[in-house]
Structure 1
Amino acid sequence: MSAGTGPARLLLFTGKGGVGKTTLAAATAARLAVGGHKVLVASADPAHSLGDAFGLPVTTEPAEVDTCLYAAHVDARGLADRSWQAIRRELRGLLPGVSDVDAAELTVLPGVDELLALTEVVRLAAEGPWEVVVVDCGPTAETLRLLALPEAVGGYLERLSLGRHASWLAGHVGELRDVLVDPARTSVRLVLTPERVVVAETRRTLVALALRGIQVDSLVANRLVPPAKRWRGPAASWLRTRRAEQEAVLSELDASTTLPVRRVEHRAAEPVGVPALLGLADELYGADDPLGTTGPYAAPLLSVRAVEGGYELAVALPITGESTVDLARIGDELAITVDGVRRLVALPVLLRRHHVTDAVTGQTGLVLRFESGGAQ
């Protein structure tokens, strides 16, 4: 693949704060650059520690840090300031009676900065000379809010029915959503440490992303304690015990997902600079191409099949026995809530005159039975 032949592939790294996602994103970008790809690694994390990983200053303007490897910070506040006039014009079009002061207040609503940051990442992928854009996202909770914004904003615009005034914004938000849910263009890699609390959050994140239709292609278990088979003494005993605990946690994770789980051992020295990051990438990917190690594409969120007396609607979600699931029918939509994460999805047209008679959970997600009758 040569640079400039089309939109770049997007790889989004996220995970609970402190699990090492920034370092692994930087290592992946360095490995891709060595493989001949022109790569940009961009930090959308407000903490901005990407420069620490490279041992070099990183600014808001993409700059080359090594051959074929570029880095930048996405400054959401700066984007908001630079986009101020365009935002104000659009708000005037959407709400003609709004004053300048009111429009200014609307632009500081929660989520505007994040939406602009996501817009900038997608713009860089579409317009830049890079083949791959690796994104160091914020911690999991922030990333989920960020990735949910295009769909949420799009849904509100549809309900508001603002006509031609909303066309620009709705089209823009729709493009963002299309990029995020296209598994050929965008995928997420979840970074975790082998601890039960972190793995539990990772499982919830998998469900939340599946609800949004966003592809997760692999998991990365970081900071495994090195084996101490030939060592003796209390320290060696502690290391063996800790490693056994980590292996037990990862075995449970392996059994609960079809995604590949890559493993990286804890290092005595923090990997800083391109040579050290490449060493980390060797352990992470081995001889594999970081772009060719994706898991199976997720099944469509909804699928319908005819059964005797009605239909079955399968909702593909990676839920577990510990998941809390709630379903509600709201007109022609189905409200699905899993572990506190909620999404409204439009029911297929052929089910809208049927009512739900049963719902069961299984390894592939939820299965709802619909039978003839008035919609409930």
Structure 2
Amino acid sequence: MRILLFTGKGGVGKTTLAAATAARLAAGGHKALVVSTDPAHSLADAFGVPLSADPSEVDSLLFAAHVDSRRLVDQSWRELRAQLRTVLTGAGLDELDAEELTVLPGVDELLALTEVARLAGTGPWEAVIVDCGPTAETLRLLALPDAIAGYLNRTHWKGVAGAAGRLAAHLASLRRLLADPDVAAVRLVLTPERMVLAETRRTLTALALRGIHVDRLVANRLVPRARKWGGPAASWLRTRRAEQDAVLAELAASTPLPVQVVEHRAAEPVGRAALLELAAELYAGSEPLERRHDPAPLLRVRTAGSGYELTVAIPLSDAADLDLARVGDDLVITVDGVRRLVALPVLLRRFAVTDAEADAGGLVLRFQPDGAGR
């Protein structure tokens, strides 16, 4: 089973492309579920049919659902929170502390992610297509297993058995699911505009720091080429398409990821037939489940003179706000406010960082023997 997560800046058309992908998979004989975690709930509009929180049949082999985070909070979180409060109070915490510790940040998003994993694991699907919220919400969603597990470890919940232990184990399984490139991949949708390109680059970096695999980019809503047409409208089209082509060339030069392009349509693609037509362009020369880009190893070490070079495979733009620190055997990397601790290879733990720079392969750090020893 594959899980494909579609996300991007709000308004770039990710919902339509997710729906088109699911429709093509079903038309090709794959049993597919497309599920939306976007609070806007526009997936039903793309198919032109009503949808609910439970998977419903849209067409042969094609099912769809909307995740209702508020309903999940009402049904699931209240019970779990009561269980945790009982366990924590029994562990010696007073009632007030137990109450405070069971108010987790981002519980709506956590339960939405949990529901996607549940649907993926309990249905007969060959593919689960996820229409995620806009980029910022998706980054919070994908970061939650790590963030909440860290929260548990920093609080009195650490080592508490029962409900808290089950929650920690569940978060770990979610993290493994999201970080497995054989199972999960992100399809990052953008429109070829400078501001969207800048956000796309930041998103690629943030996802790489999270260990989430992006296997392709989709540039949506390119204006059609004017060919030999004349007049003011054709002139506008040529100018606009030239601007978009320049953005795409800049994007292609900055990432090894394949970029697929989809032209803007005069009529909004609604319904299965229109979505299949869109998918034919989107996947021209490829198939939705095809892996077109394998993730590079996060860390690569090579000898360099009397020391070593360590490459951390994260994409960095010239404008990225980068901060590096070393804490014991960990390298702390912070890019545009997103932080990750990376355990240094054993080979480098007795060496000191002497220099760092960014190149096309990512962040390159140089290590030399630490005269002080360790």
Fold match by TM threshold 0.5: yes
Are 1:46 and 2:35 counterparts? no
Range with bigger deviation, 349-358 or 252-261: 349-358
Instruction: Note if contact 2:258-2:293 (Cα within 8 Å) is conserved in structure 1.
Output: no
Confirm or deny: 8 A CA contact 1:92 1:98 kept in the other structure. Answer: no
Q: For residue 146 of structure 1, what is the aligned residue in structure 2? A: 141
Aligned twin of 1:69: 62
Deviation of 1:350 after TM superposition, in Å, equals: 3.6
Amino acid at match of 1:90: L
Please point out which of 247, 251, 254 is paired with 1:253. 251
Contact map agreement 1:13 1:134 (CA 8 A) in 2: yes
Out of 46, 53, 56, the residue aligned to residue 60 of structure 1 is 53
Amino acid at match of 1:361: A
Q: Is the 8 A contact 1:320 1:363 kept in 2?
A: no
TM-score, length-normalised on structure 2?
Answer: 0.92
Partners of 2:348 and 2:285 lie apart in 1 by 48
Paired residues for 1:307-322 under 5 Å: 307-322=304-319
1:346-369: CA deviations, max 9, x gaps?
223343333211112111011112
Change over 3 Å in CA distance of 1:306–1:230 after alignment to 2: closer
Structure 1, 220-229 or 331-340: larger mean CA deviation: 331-340
Q: State the partner residue of 1:176.
A: 174
The TM-score, its normalising length taken from structure 1, stands at 0.92
- Is 1:352 aligned with 2:349? yes
Equivalence for 1:86: 80
Tell me if structure 2 keeps the 8 A contact 1:80–1:113: yes
Matched-pair contact (CA < 8 Å) for 1:20–1:191 = yes
Give the drift of 1:322: 3.0
Give the 3 Å change call, closer, same or farther, for CA 106–46 of structure 1 in structure 2.
farther
> Which structure 2 segments of 5+ residues have no match?
none
Say which is worse superposed, 100-109 or 315-324, in terms of deviation.
Answer: 100-109
Give the equivalent residue in structure 2 for 1:4: none
Quote the offset at 1:227 in angstroms: 1.2
Residue equivalent to 1:31: 24
Q: Which residues of 2 match residues 226-237 of structure 1 at below 5 A?
A: 226-237=224-235
Shift of 1:241: 0.7
Asked whether the 8 Å contact 1:206–1:318 carries over to 2, the reply is yes
Q: Which structure 2 residues correspond to residues 203-222 of structure 1 after superposition, within 5 A?
A: 203-222=201-220
Q: Relative to structure 1, is the Cα distance of residues 375 and 146 closer, same or farther in structure 2, using a 3 angstrom cutoff? A: farther
**Structure 2 counterpart of 1:198, from 196, 199, 224:** 196
Displacement of 1:107 = 4.9
Task: Compute the displacement of 1:194 (Å).
Answer: 0.6
Further displaced range: 308-317 or 16-25: 308-317
Structure 2 CA distance for aligned equivalents of residues 178 and 167 of structure 1 = 17
C-alpha distance in structure 2 between counterparts of 1:238 and 1:12, whole Å: 34
Aligned residues: 368
- The answer to whether structure 1 residue 277 and structure 2 residue 275 are counterparts is yes
Aligned Cα RMSD in Å?
2.0
Amino acid at match of 1:55: G
Offset of residue 98 of structure 1: 5.0
In structure 2, relative to structure 1, the CA distance for the partners of 1:10 and 1:100 (3 Å cut) is farther
Task: Report how far residue 127 of structure 1 moved.
Answer: 1.6
What is the Cα deviation at residue 184 of structure 1? Answer: 0.3
Deviation readout 1:282-319 (Å, 9 max, x if unpaired): 11112521111x33222122233344433322111111
Tell whether the 8 Å contact from 1:88 to 1:104 is kept in structure 2 after alignment.
Answer: no
| Partner Cα distance (1:72, 1:358) in 2 | 50
1:154 maps to a residue whose letter is A
Residue aligned with 2:281, SS? helix
